[in-house]
Amino acid sequence: MPPSATGASHLEAVASQARDDTLLPAVREALEGRPAAVESLILQIGPHLLRTVRQVLGARHPDVEDVAQDSLLAVLRSLPDFRGESTFLHFAHRIALLTALAWRRRQLTRDKHTAPAETDEWLDASVHSSPHVDLLSQLRQQVVRSLLDELQPGIAEAMALHFVLGFTVDEIAAISSIPSNTVWSRLRLGKATLRQRLRRSPRLAELLGGFE
């Protein structure tokens, strides 16, 4: 949907969400160095960060716990950089996403120099109604995740925030401090790259049902 259709009301809604952020008092207290506030923040954002890490790595990935911990630590270390342009939870989601994406890229580099990656055992457990549906779901996710590994960081971030985590364009613009039009451009570029990849593998494209 073009930005003109969403209008300024969405941007205003995002700004309003940021103003009414219920986590702000805890953030301020944490910045003053109060351990109880840090603990409270951890408890409140922890489940959300875990969700994000799972979405980027896969729910059964063995490194979910480590990456979730790194994300939490990165969020706490970035507290002074939080400017209140989005809600703190959105800010934390973005940090967790970037941490998980960086982890995936590091892992890829490591795998190039060491043994090839093991088969994704953690993807085995079926969560869908049938093995066929489960396989297609895993394929779709794998295609998008490997695409995120290859894309430029800015494009990968916009794609992941939109399609993996489900943020709207205005939310992404607020979280990443970039104009909405830039987000739209990045999404368009990301989708174009995905289409190119699928063109190289028609069988996969057929299996997945096509990405527009």
Determine the interface stretch with other proteins among 16-24, 32-40, 109-117, 147-155 (rule: CB under 8 A).
32-40
Cα–Cα distance measured from residue 187 to residue 2, given in angstroms and rounded to the nearest whole number:
12
Could you give the count of Cα atoms lying within 13 Å of 50 in the half-sphere of its Cβ?
9
84 binds other proteins (CB under 8 A): no
CA dihedral 148, 149, 152, 157 (to 10 degrees): 40
Which stretch in 24-32, 84-92, 95-103, 112-120 sits in contact with other proteins by CB under 8 A? 24-32
**What is the SS3 assignment for 151?**
coil
d(CA 157, CA 148): 8
Contact between 197 and other proteins (CB under 8 A)?
no
54 touches other proteins (CB under 8 A): yes
- The yes or no reply on residue 182 touching other proteins (CB under 8 A) is no
- DSSP structure string for 52-97: HHHHHH-TT-TTHHHHHHHHHHHHHHTGGG--SSS-HHHHHHHHHH
Binding string, residues 119-148; x marks residues near other proteins by CB under 8 A: --------xx--------x--xx--x----
Q: Per CB under 8 A, does 8 bind other proteins? A: no
Rounded distance between C-alpha atoms, residue 48 and residue 90, angstroms: 10
Smallest distance, other proteins to C-beta of residue 35, A: 6
| Residues of the shown chain interacting with other proteins in the complex, contacts defined by CB under 8 A | 1-3, 6, 30-35, 38-39, 42-43, 46-47, 50-52, 54-55, 58-59, 62, 65, 68-69, 72-73, 76-81, 127-128, 137, 140-141, 144, 162-170, 184, 187-188, 191, 208-212
